[in-house]
Amino acid sequence: MKNITLLGSTGSIGQNTLKVIENNPDKLKLFAIAANSNIELLAEQAHKFKCKYVVCHENYKKELSAKIPSFTKILTGIEGMIEISTHKEADIVLCAVVGTAGLKPVLEAIRAKKEIALASKEILVMAGEIVMDEVRKNGVKMLPVDSEHNAIFQCLEGRKETDIQKIILTASGGAFRKNTIQEMSEATYKDALAHPTWNMGPKVTLDSATLMNKALEIVEAHWLFNMPAERIDVVIHPQSIIHSMVEFIDGTILAQMSVTDMKFPIQYALLYPEKRGGLGTLSLPKIENLTFETPDRKKYPSLNFAYESIRKGGTMAAVMNAANEVAVEKFGKGLIKLPGIWNIIEKTMSAHKTIKHPTLEQIIEADSWARIKAETMC
């Protein structure tokens, strides 16, 4: 039986994780959960899974205390997430927190020698060098939950690093795959959230529309698999059946395929190395076609930002991520057009002087600097 600490329990990944735990009661038990402000759902989850700990924002502690079981202890903020992530009873920490709030809890969990199931891209984008150094130093497993990185992880099992030619990340193309640059410039926030294949939260869905999600995944793959930028490719695959691929030095390509359901990579990460059924299977004749396209980097400059951030290293990827978060918020409020997201990211990155091999404090300072800088831009 594995005890799970779940950071980000009320989001899309969090709710799918709870379904996986519920479907595997003989193997998985929910120990503790954390969310920010969705108190009703957080309380409902605490009751249903009989959690020992619940973490919320300090402002909601009083409201939550009136709704949860008497045996459940309430903690708050980053310190609360660190406590449930390093607790002696926790075996696996699944981090599905959107943004940077999960960085310190994950680092402390690694130092406490917990297995990590990682769904939060920002952690490796911001501090990949520090995080992966700690993973190696403490001998813990870092199991990717992103469907793309989970697919690569599966394709690489039992393979030598010298066998690998390149990693190929697949992208659905998001809401604007068939739109021109001009049409995209007139797109609304609602248009951007109309994802053709995946059901995700608003931030990830919007990042998918700009391919910024794939940019973050390029950086994440660089750190997870120790792969240089020039050996990480992206292809548009609208059907989202092949979740990613690995090309080997003999010219063969290994692809991982499944139904488009996030419960697959979540279950694989939580039960690793065991595989289980119960999630459905593909009917290849019904699929009929699998198609691939080369992404247009003029239409989607996000990919260029990712490769640049890897080449420059240090704090640049953290700056890219922070600028994107600010720009996405501006677009959501109607303050900028969709291409304004890329303009803000590019200008912020251009204004930043990279710090090589930064400390965690320097990364957080760079993140704060980028947010302030991006706020002044349009």
Mapped onto helix, strand or coil, the DSSP state of residue 11 is coil
Question: 73, 107, 140: which is the final residue of a domain?
Answer: 140
Question: 105, 140, 175: which is the final residue of a domain?
Answer: 140
What is the pLDDT averaged over residues 54-65?
Answer: 95
Please check whether residues 100 and 249 belong to one and the same domain: no
Please check whether residues 171 and 205 belong to one and the same domain: yes
| Per-residue pLDDT reduced to its tens digit, 123-151 | 999 999 999 999 999 999 999 999 999 99
Please check whether residues 208 and 331 belong to one and the same domain: yes
| Per-residue pLDDT reduced to its tens digit, 297-350 | 999 999 999 999 999 999 999 999 999 999 999 999 999 999 999 999 999 999
For position 87, which CATH number holds? 3.40.50.720
| Cα–Cα distances in angstroms (integers) from residue 196 to residues 73, 238, 365, in the given order | 41, 8, 37
The two three-digit tokens of residue 120, written as one number: 């939060």
What is the pLDDT averaged over residues 76-81?
Answer: 97
Please check whether residues 294 and 221 belong to one and the same domain: yes
Q: What does the pLDDT read at residue 194?
A: 85
Chain-centre distance for alpha carbon 329: 18
Domain that holds residue 225: 149-259+282-375
Does residue 271 lie in a domain region? Answer: no
Does residue 270 lie in a domain region? Answer: no
Q: Could you give the CA distance from residue 14 to residue 12 in angstroms, rounded to a whole number?
A: 5
Exposure string (b/e) for 88-116, b if CB count within 10 Å is 16 or more?
Answer: eebbbbbbbbbbbbbbbbbbbbbebebbb
Kindly report which listed range (12-26, 279-293, 328-342) carries the lowest average pLDDT score: 279-293
| Cα–Cα distances in angstroms (integers) from residue 53 to residues 11, 65, 203, 304, in the given order | 18, 12, 27, 42
Q: What is the pTM of this model?
A: 0.93
Number of domains in the chain: 2
The secondary element (H helix, E strand) that includes residue 150 is: helix 147-156
Does residue 277 lie in a domain region? Answer: no
Please check whether residues 190 and 86 belong to one and the same domain: no
For position 332, which CATH number holds? 1.10.1740.10
Please check whether residues 168 and 121 belong to one and the same domain: no
Q: What does the pLDDT read at residue 39?
A: 95
Question: 88, 106, 140: which is the final residue of a domain?
Answer: 140
Strand 53-56 relative to strand 73-76, pairing: parallel
